[in-house]
Amino acid sequence: MSDTDLLPILLVPDARLRAKARPVGPGDAEAVRALAPRMLATMYKAPGIGLAAPQIGELLRLVVIDLQPEDQPQPYVMVNPEIVAASTGLAAREEGCLSLPNQYAEVTRPAEVKVRWQDLDGSRREMQADGLLATCIQHEIDHLNGVLFVDHISALKRNMLLRKLAKELKGRQRDGE
């Protein structure tokens, strides 16, 4: 099995997308080193700008992010990421999710966040993010808590979107995709 073998991305309503992921511990170092490159390859192929371990069925606090998949790769691998500060100022942005293909909605979140994580060597890292990166970090950390972007919109919009998704996935299944 190669480093870059792609992993299947779980789709709503898979129960694993609603579970709380557990922290990565010292005993997970090897698993995380093996998973990270495969998660990045899966994200680039999708294509997406982020992927959280629960989306590939691993209930670990691990995310990968790269905002520039087409240009020069700038991958972040975040182990046990935490938002340690969030701005009071909010920003609205259209979000999508690889676990809810072809569904989009405007989500309002803190415009800037400070995130702390460990890298693959176990070094502590911290950065301040704004713009799309801030949105993506919050979206990925939500996944670690079983939260999806549709949980941030009105029940009416959420139900419309989930029904549309179910219908489209049923169509796919019928067409043998």
Q: Minimal distance in Å, beta carbon 63 to ligand GNR?
A: 8
Residues near ligand GNR (CB under 6 A) are: 48-52, 55, 95-99, 135-136, 139-140, 143
Sign of CA dihedral 155, 65, 55, 117: negative
Sign of CA dihedral 24, 72, 2, 96: positive
- 3-class secondary structure, 66: coil
Identify which of residues 3 and 151 has a Cβ nearer to Ni ion in the complex: 151
- 3-class secondary structure, 42: helix
Among 17, 40, 56, 97, binds Ni ion (CB under 5 A): 97
String of DSSP letters for 3-19: TT---PPP-TT-GGGGS
Residues 6+ positions from 104 with CB-CB distance below 8 Å: 94, 95, 96
Residue 48: which of ligand GNR, Ni ion, none does it interact with, CB under 5 to 8 A by kind? ligand GNR
Residue 142: which of ligand GNR, Ni ion, none does it interact with, CB under 5 to 8 A by kind? none
Q: Which stretch binds Ni ion (CB under 5 A): 1-9, 69-77, 89-97, 111-119?
A: 89-97
Just list the catalytic residues.
Answer: 140
Q: Which residue is nearest to ligand GNR (CB)?
A: 48
Q: Minimal distance in Å, beta carbon 26 to ligand GNR?
A: 26
Identify which of residues 111 and 140 has a Cβ nearer to Ni ion in the complex: 140
Tell me: does residue 165 bind Ni ion (CB under 5 A).
Answer: no
Tokens of 22: 């557990």
Q: Is 97 annotated as a binding residue?
A: yes
Alpha-helical (H) ranges within the chain are 29-45, 131-144, 155-174
Q: Is 143 annotated as a binding residue?
A: yes
